[in-house]
Amino acid sequence: MKPKNLFGALVMAIIGAAIALLAYTQIIVKPEPIRVTDSSGISMKDASAILTSYMQQGGQVDLTYAAEMTVHAVVHVKTKTITGGQASNPILEFFYGERYTRPREVQGFGSGVIVSPDGYIITNNHVIERADNVDVTLNDGKEFTAQVVGRDPSTDIALLKVEANELPFLRYGNSDELKLGEWVLAVGNPFNLTSTVTAGIVSAKGRSLGIIERDFSVESFIQTDAALNVGNSGGALVNTKGMLVGITTAILSPSGAYAGNSFAVPIGIVQKVVEDLKEYGEVQRAIIGVVITPVTSEDAKNNNLAEVKGAKIQEVVSGGSADEAGLRENDIVISVNNVPVTSPSELQVQISKYRPGNRVSVTYVRNGKESTVPILLKNVAGNTGVVKPGEGTGAGVVFGARIETLSQSEMRKFRIDHGVKVVEVNEGRFRELGIGKDYIITSVNGNRVRNAADVRSATNNEKSLNAIEGYQPNGMYFSFQFRR
């Protein structure tokens, strides 16, 4: 080849290579990290570290920071319950003989989440519900005896307190902003294994499972596929920033072990419960006085609704907040204070954020016409006053014993449709009679009882006790009659 032609070919080869390289760099480019702006408002030295958990390289999410922040604020909860022993009672011994077993100790365990540096800890009510003693162990091995500040069976949340300072704790996130498919971490103590971290995504929101069998129950669970097992109850569900978005509570499984469906109480519900327990010792639960059901496609068609969403009023309680505001049967509630309501559980959640005495605007549809009315919220007693400790859901202290309303499962167990359960016995008439913990009382002075108020009313505010009937924990029926 001639030199001139050789030079031309070389130039063309260099130009071709440059074009090919340019095309390659345009097609295959190393992806830049996706940076998400932190809007949490956190002011702390390691704010930059929090942002690193939001950086995705090649589609991967870094969960290490969230895990490291969380494990130090999750505690191991250990409970101790004394069962089997009963107070000496000549009457019972005369009729039934000495059938009482010796007291025995039953231990339980679960998890808890530190939410303040001075030792406030959130856990599930079912973890500590029947406990005589509650101890917590921190991630560093330190142990404390915990005081039960308050319990709320209707949300399955309880608040503990330990005497300590400068503890690691989790900050509240926003459970309302969680999106389906978003990554979350669950941290707890399954099978007594401390500081266990599992990861998953948000599978669903607003789940109602019917597992909290209490009056005024509030169920709107966050569903995830993070692995939970026995002992995780009361643990933390956190987002990728390590902020608390839920309290892990339950699993749905045919075998009783993890099967891909786990559930947490949203922090939007928990936070208000905790604030009430700290301030009042009892949840100040607001109710509007309605029985609600899901909206059907036929309901939506009859009311010209574009979507099958909302909460249909099946029944209006006479004299309640909804009744006074003019709501009626078959009305469909679609929003509270401009927050959309797509299901009965969402209506419960929105109302649960307020206290008795608060006013909210409720938007509803009646016969295809949309209207908005103000509603004054009331408490379980039908007024706007402060509910005292022990009176939140039919509970209270009578004759030295703390009693609570029966759950549906307890009524099925004893085949009854009313009654109260003794959950704690202190000095008083009931202890003198041999009424112990877990006794079921169905009748007092010939009157059926369903809550503490019924017992007080039947005894003229604890001034007279002539007869009492019910069941011992082993199912044996008892009946006491006293001289007037």
Contact criterion met (CB below 8 Å) for 231 and 188: yes
- What single string gives the DSSP state of each residue in 50-80? HHHTT-EETTEE--HHHHHHHHTTEEEEEEE
Catalytic residue among 111, 126, 203, 345: 126
Of 6, 137, 7, nearest in space to 72 by CA = 137
Q: Is 152 a catalytic residue?
A: no
Q: Is 335 a catalytic residue?
A: no
Of 251, 252, 272, nearest in space to 176 by CA = 272
Angle at 124 between CA 279 and CA 378, to 5 degrees: 45
Catalytic residue among 53, 111, 220, 233: 233
DSSP code, position 190 = G
Phi first, then psi: give them for residue 148, nearest 5 degrees.
Answer: -85, 110
Angle at 188 between CA 259 and CA 163, to 5 degrees: 155
* Phi-psi sector, 81: left (phi>0), alpha (psi -120 to 50), beta: beta
- Dihedral of alpha carbons 435, 440, 446, 447, sign: positive
The two tokens of residue 483 are 């001289």
Phi first, then psi: give them for residue 19, nearest 5 degrees.
Answer: -65, -40
User: Which are the contacts of 175, defined by CB distance < 8 A and separation ≥ 6?
Assistant: 222, 245, 246, 266, 267, 268, 269
- Dihedral of alpha carbons 161, 166, 168, 172, sign: positive
Q: CA 452, 453, 454, 460: dihedral to nearest 10 degrees?
A: 110
The two tokens of residue 193 are 């294994």
Catalytic residue among 156, 225, 331, 454: 156
Q: Is 217 a catalytic residue?
A: no
Of 188, 287, 288, nearest in space to 234 by CA = 188
Contact criterion met (CB below 8 Å) for 278 and 120: yes
Residues annotated as part of the active site: 126, 156, 233
